[in-house]
Every structure is written in C-alpha cells, then in structure tokens.
Amino acid sequence: MLRHLFICTLATALGFAALPAGAADFPAQKKILLASTIGPIDAGIVGALEEAFTRKTGIMVAHTGAGTGKAIQMAETGKYDLVLVHAKALEEKFVADGFGTKRYDLMYNDFVILGPAADPAKIKGMRDAAAALKVIARAQAPFVTRGDRSGTHVKELEVWKKAGVEPQGTWYQVFPEGAKGNAPTLAFANDQKAYTIMDRATYITMKPKISLQILVERDDILLNYMTVIPVSPAKFPQVRYTEAMQFVEWLQGREAQTIIRDFGKDKYGEPLFFPNSPEGKKL
C-alpha cells in the first residue's frame, strides 16, 4: 500500500514538474502545433514567446522549424495549427488557396549583405542592395545562397531580380544544407570567405564566431517582415483553431510585443526584432 502510494505520488510530482511554471493551475493541458521559419527559432524568440504564452494560458505550443516554403507546405497538410513565416508572396498564396485564414503582422528585422573584410567586390558602404549584388556578380566574387525557397532565399531572389541579374556560375554557391537554416548557411559562407544575404538577428547572435562583416544595410528592400497565419478550420476541421487564435491574439497584444521589443537587449546590447502588430507599433 505504501509502495503504491509512493509511486502515485512520484508520478504526480513528475507530471507537474514536466509542465511549465503555473501550468498546474489549468484544468487540462492543451497543445497547438506551429510550423515556423528557422531564423527566429535559432535566435530564441519563438521559444521565449511560447513559454510566456503557456505560463499565461496553460496551452502548450510545440514548434517545428523549416524554411518558409517548407513550413507552408507542412501547414498545407493540416497537421499544424498555424505558421510563422516571412515571405509575403508565399503567405498570400497560402491564404488565397484556402489553407490559411488571415495574415497577422508579428515582428520584423532586416537583412544585411555580409562579406569578408577584404571586400574584393568593393561594395562596402553602398546604400542600394540591388546595385551591390550587381557589382558582386560583375566581379564574380564568391557568394553563398541557401537555395531552398526559404524566406531568406526568396528575399535574396527579390534583390537579384531588382538588380536585373540571374546569378549563375561557379562563384554563386548553393549551400548543400541550406534547408537547415540561416546559422549553418552563415557559418558556411564565413568558411568560404564569401558574400551572402543574411538576417541581422542571425548575424548578431553569431558575430563573435565569424569574421564576415556587414557591408551593405538599411535599404528598404532588405526589411524582413514576419507574420503568423492560422490554418483554416474550414479546410481542416481537426485543427485547434480556437487555441491557435488565442495564441495569435496574445502575440498581437502588449505583453508579447513587449517581449519582442526587448528580446536580445540584455545579451547582445541591441534588439534582434521589432514589434509590428497594431498594438506593438504603439510601444
């Protein structure tokens, strides 16, 4: 009898220990599934937002990371409840095709063009990102791309298109493991002493480990907007739409937007992302 009581007590204790702080106050543990672009996962903001939401509501959020194109494909199976992505054309198609309900602005940062300190193409200080890429292509200086239809790759292709250049040749290197995310891609570009387009948050978090430098920045085309999109319950009745919308509404609110505003300041001395919901823009 005592042994049975001990086992039950231990199981109960372990069960509560496995839940986030405060979750034991909620009657049932619900879970929603998020397909998210990899960059904000690697930066840590996705985990920070999920943890804060779970503490507040008792609803757990489990994410799977992939490039934006892949994340959207994953959501199109109906196995996820919402997506966090950053490629407007792909997002709009996802909604127009009936897979998602609506795009909700969440946060933004920007992309930068990185390169070796020697800067063989001589682009440092240029303000026009497309013009800088044109110079890199003309010089046939090594350039690394993710090449995986991720949000980062889509942005890069947008800038090449504006430059009027279709990059090809041995100087234009597709990172074979680009689908693993921005951090491995940046590490590879650094090893190759190559140019690349990368989001600023990835650069900031990896800055102590790499020698590549920011050479071109602050062009409007390099802005990197991230949105969340609930998966449509009309198309997939099994999705947890009510809980997904609770998460979306919380993400849009002051508490989450403040977390976004302040994230990274303590560790890096500067924010990694900026709030972009209607409420966040007031902060």
pLDDT in tens, 72-123: 999 999 999 999 999 999 999 999 999 999 999 999 999 999 999 999 999 9
Annotated domain spans of the chain: 2-108+224-282, 110-223
Rounded Cα gap, residues 117 and 258, in angstroms: 35
Q: Which of 18-32, 61-75, 186-200 has the lowest mean pLDDT?
A: 18-32
Class of domain 110-223: alpha beta
| Contact criterion met (CB below 8 Å) for 124 and 166 | no
Q: Which of 13-22, 192-201, 208-217 has the lowest mean pLDDT?
A: 13-22
Place of tokens 């986030």: 20
Residue type present at position 227: T
Q: What kind of fold does domain 2-108+224-282 have according to CATH?
A: D-Maltodextrin-Binding Protein; domain 2 (3.40.190)
Using pLDDT thresholds of 50, 70 and 90, give the confidence band for residue 22: very low
> What is the share, in percent, of the chain residues with pLDDT greater than 70?
90
Using pLDDT thresholds of 50, 70 and 90, give the confidence band for residue 7: very low
* Token pair listed for 117: 């300190």
Side-chain-side CA neighbours of residue 119 (13 Å)? 15
Rounded Cα gap, residues 196 and 212, in angstroms: 9
Cα–Cα distances (Å) from 189 to 111, 169, 193, 216, in that order, read 15, 16, 6, 16
Query: φ and ψ at 141, to 5 degrees?
Result: -80, 145
Asked whether the predicted pLDDT for residue 43 surpasses 80, the reply is yes
pLDDT at 21: 41
Q: Do domains 2-108+224-282 and 110-223 have the same CATH topology?
A: yes
| Cα 140 from chain centre | 30
Rounded Cα gap, residues 158 and 179, in angstroms: 19
Place of tokens 């690349």: 196
Q: Mean per-residue pLDDT for 13-26?
A: 40
Longest alpha-carbon distance in the chain: 81
pLDDT at 19: 41
Q: In sequence order, which residues have a C-beta less than 8 Å from that of residue 135 and are 6 or more positions away? A: 121, 122, 123, 126
Q: Which of 3-12, 112-121, 274-283 has the lowest mean pLDDT?
A: 3-12
> What is the share, in percent, of the chain residues with pLDDT greater than 90?
90
- Return left, alpha or beta for 24; rule: phi > 0 is left, psi -120 to 50 is alpha, else beta: alpha
Closest Cα partner for 137 from 168, 175, 100, 105?
Answer: 168
- Return left, alpha or beta for 166; rule: phi > 0 is left, psi -120 to 50 is alpha, else beta: beta
User: pLDDT tens digits, residue range 197-250?
Assistant: 999 999 999 999 999 999 999 999 999 999 999 999 999 999 999 999 999 999
Mean pLDDT of the chain: 92
**Entry pTM:** 0.87
